[in-house]
Amino acid sequence: MMSELSDRILTISLVYLGPAAKMFLERQTLAHMDKLKFEDITPSHLPELVKWINISGGLLIGAEKAKEFGEKIRSIS
């Protein structure tokens, strides 16, 4: 079950990645964030997630869009 935070992240991500958003987020957290399940993400994980959005997302949607996407995630409080 997703937390309120993971749900908010997914909602923003859908705008940038469409139906691939959840798979992208799960892959970033599992592969790059010590096997963290996306559903278990906490506010303290956001800086690391934003880092990987910029790196991996940049390859998929371009650096500028990835930066915009990352900033929206970073602004979640």
What is the per-residue pLDDT across 9-58, written as a single tens digit (0 to 9) for each? Answer: 999 999 999 999 999 999 999 999 999 999 999 999 999 999 999 999 99
- Structural domain boundaries in the chain: 4-74
DSSP 41: -
Q: Are 66 and 53 in contact (CB under 8 A)?
A: yes
Give the side-chain half-sphere CA count within 13 A for 51: 8
DSSP 10: H
pLDDT band, very low/low/confident/very high, at 1 (cuts 50, 70, 90): confident
CB-based contacts of 28, cutoff 8 Å, min separation 6: 38, 49, 52, 53, 56
